[in-house]
Structure 1
Amino acid sequence: MVCCVVTTVVAAVVVLILTVKFIYRYQSGRCTSKTRLVGKTAIVTGASAGIGKETARDLAQRGARVILACRNVEKAERIAEDIKKTTGNTDVVVRQVDTSDLTSVRKFAEDILRTETSLHILVNNAGMSGMKKRKLTADGLEVTMATNHFGHFLLTNMLLGLLKASAPSRVVTVSSGVHQFGSSLDVDDLNYEKNPFPKKMVIYSQSKLANILFTKELSEKLRGTDVTANSVHPGVVYTEIMWKNETNLFTYIFAMLVRIMGKDEKLGAQTSIYLAVSEEVNNVTGKYYADCKVGMNSV
């Protein structure tokens, strides 16, 4: 009798999980634009894995010159070769950048300005999950905020001249729906010198909120330049970022559930791709998107 009850419960749980998976993936937004990008140049940070990798692959498939801006060059080179093979586009290159290191960001941006004559799409995708304890970079910045926000803030501003000269062009910054849990963000203390260091999910949430606030302010400053700036919630996506930094039983269980029920990397990249290429958002700027439409939790 007990065995039958257990079997029934397990079966019910499996059915529930599969149902959630089907509904979530079925309702997920997909970029249907057929836009070609021949003659266009795109940069995707953090393109050696996950959403960034699939975003870069799609842009290459459309004929763009794609620059994979990654910390791990060796890993990125393998991805670049795979993208060339699967898309037939050989104009896919790797450039080293660590968004947590402002010296690295400056060097990368200076190299782009020296070697590239145009830039039409910048996808600020690189990121990391929150840290358990406050850790500073060589620049003296909290590492999560540096990686997810400060690095992209600097990179975007250094490349603005090239983006403007190449207009129409687009800046897409990958945020997250968890930004709504970062409402306690003190914009005057982004380095957590005055306030207690928050829990890892909160610091991650606050860095993602910073992405959205930056995007909205950037869009205002770019009015009339034909350069748009929008932010993205990719959805609940299973990527290797879940296994980086400190892990515990909870994060392991959560990662397994996301792997089963969440989006895969290709589906998770759809909104980033949509904002980078779709004709539907030609003049849209300063918005927060999820599943290829304006998100309900836009700030």
Structure 2
Amino acid sequence: MLEEVAVVLVVLILTIRFIYRWQSGRCSSEATLDGKTVIITGASAGELKAFTGRRAGRVCLIPWWKVRGMEGGLEVGDVRVEVRHLDTSDLTSVRKFAKRILEDERSLHVLINNAGMMGCPKREVTQDGLELTMATNYYGHFLLTNLLLGLMKKSSPGRIIALTSSDHSYVNKLNPDSLNFEREHYSSRTAYGQTSLCNILFSVELASKLEGTGVTANSVHPGCVHTEFFYKGKVTLFSWICRKLYLLMGKDVQLGAQPTIYLAVSQEVEDVSGQYFVDCQVAKTSELARQKKLAKQVWEATEVDVKLQPEEKHY
């Protein structure tokens, strides 16, 4: 009896795995990033290979949030990759990283805000007074994008891509005055869902500020992908379950990178901005994520939280 149950379970898992991967979106564009400069935050080795393997750009700058003090260059196919230190949860680190980019680079064409972590089991606060999950997944990218926006506008056309998640729909309310859960109930999943929602709202408001500049801003949910993401930070029961399910039935890194590659290179979306993508297609968000007034309120609150200075604004 147990053997029969095991066989049925294995068949079910393999079937779901096959169907999910078969129907997943793929980038069919043959466009490349030759001569372009790209920044990908939080890129793992697998994601790096998936992105550069087919899209040979002049330079890819890959800050790997997990690596402390690792700097230097390496070759990945025809691409020169610079690995630089960046901790998106630390605003000082973000400002130092951006300063060096502005000193060293003459252009920037694609910025992929990819670094992230699951929500912490308990609320933790960074040295900047920000909730750790929000700081890592959202605040750091908000600041980094603003600091590099001037360079991107000079290098136009350009594309800004924010990684997010379908978990944004888990959040049914958002208080711009309590983004760090100062007065709101905290849970691991709520924290992660809120970062996903904020990244979508950030892209919506950023797109409106970039109208007419040639620089677009979109958000993308890569799907259920088994990456190093689930091995960062402290493990919760929810993240442990997700890690096992994604390993058995989710996308591999190559397939999971397709939606991001699509937004980075496809000519179909060169003029598309302020949209949310899933499997290389525009998808519907939650009702909260479509509120432009809320997007503006969250932006203004975030400027205060990251202490964005007048000289750091380029919109």
CA distance in 2, matches of 1:278, 1:157: 24
CA distance in 2, matches of 1:16, 1:76: 42
The one of 33, 36, 50 equivalent to 2:29 is 33
CA shift, 1:72, in A, is 4.2
Given that 1:229 and 1:286 are in contact with CA atoms closer than 8 Å, whether structure 2 keeps it comes out as yes
- Establish whether residue 57 from structure 1 lines up as the match of residue 56 from structure 2: no
User: Could you tell me which residue of structure 2 aligns to residue 88 of structure 1?
Assistant: 78
CA shift, 1:58, in A, is 4.2
- Establish whether residue 9 from structure 1 lines up as the match of residue 15 from structure 2: no
Given that 2:40 and 2:112 are in contact with CA atoms closer than 8 Å, whether structure 1 keeps it comes out as yes
CA distance in 2, matches of 1:267, 1:235: 9
- Count of residue pairs the alignment pairs up: 287
User: Could you tell me which residue of structure 1 aligns to residue 307 of structure 2?
Assistant: none
User: Could you tell me which residue of structure 1 aligns to residue 242 of structure 2?
Assistant: 254
CA distance in 1, matches of 2:22, 2:174: 34
CA distance in 2, matches of 1:98, 1:193: 23
CA distance in 2, matches of 1:63, 1:149: 26
CA shift, 1:202, in A, is 1.0
Q: 1:109 to 1:19 in 2, by over 3 A?
A: same
CA distance in 2, matches of 1:251, 1:159: 32
Note the aligned Cα RMSD (angstroms): 1.9
The one of 162, 185, 208 equivalent to 2:196 is 208
TM-score calculated relative to the size of structure 2? 0.86
Q: 1:247-288 CA deviation, whole Å, 9 max, x = no partner? A: 255543432221010001111111111101100001000000
Q: 1:253 to 1:129 in 2, by over 3 A?
A: closer
After the TM superposition, which residues 212-223 of structure 1 pair with which residues of structure 2 at under 5 Å, given as runs? 212-223=200-211
- Establish whether residue 70 from structure 1 lines up as the match of residue 64 from structure 2: yes
CA distance in 2, matches of 1:172, 1:156: 10
Given that 2:40 and 2:113 are in contact with CA atoms closer than 8 Å, whether structure 1 keeps it comes out as yes
After the TM superposition, which residues 58-207 of structure 1 pair with which residues of structure 2 at under 5 Å, given as runs? 58=53, 61-73=55-67, 81=74, 84-85=75-76, 87-89=77-79, 91-196=80-185, 198-207=186-195
Q: Which amino acid aligns with 1:24?
A: Y
- Secondary structure at 2:38's aligned position in 1? strand
Structure 2 gap ranges (5+): 290-315
Structure 1 gap ranges (5+): none
User: Could you tell me which residue of structure 1 aligns to residue 301 of structure 2?
Assistant: none
Given that 2:51 and 2:257 are in contact with CA atoms closer than 8 Å, whether structure 1 keeps it comes out as no
CA distance in 1, matches of 2:14, 2:66: 35
TM-score calculated relative to the size of structure 1? 0.90
Given that 1:172 and 1:275 are in contact with CA atoms closer than 8 Å, whether structure 2 keeps it comes out as yes
CA shift, 1:54, in A, is 4.3
User: Could you tell me which residue of structure 2 aligns to residue 288 of structure 1?
Assistant: 276
Which moved further from structure 2: 218-227 or 246-255?
A: 246-255
User: Could you tell me which residue of structure 2 aligns to residue 275 of structure 1?
Assistant: 263
CA distance in 2, matches of 1:130, 1:100: 13
Q: Which amino acid aligns with 2:209?
A: K
Q: 1:41 to 1:95 in 2, by over 3 A?
A: same
Given that 2:121 and 2:235 are in contact with CA atoms closer than 8 Å, whether structure 1 keeps it comes out as no
User: Could you tell me which residue of structure 1 aligns to residue 299 of structure 2?
Assistant: none
CA shift, 1:238, in A, is 0.7
CA shift, 1:216, in A, is 0.2
Q: 1:155 to 1:248 in 2, by over 3 A?
A: closer
User: Could you tell me which residue of structure 1 aligns to residue 40 of structure 2?
Assistant: 44
CA distance in 1, matches of 2:44, 2:16: 29
**Paired-residue identity, %:** 51
CA shift, 1:76, in A, is 6.2
Q: 1:112-169 CA deviation, whole Å, 9 max, x = no partner? A: 1111000000000001110111111111111100111110000001111111000000
Q: 1:9 to 1:75 in 2, by over 3 A?
A: farther
- Establish whether residue 240 from structure 1 lines up as the match of residue 236 from structure 2: no
- Secondary structure at 1:188's aligned position in 2? helix
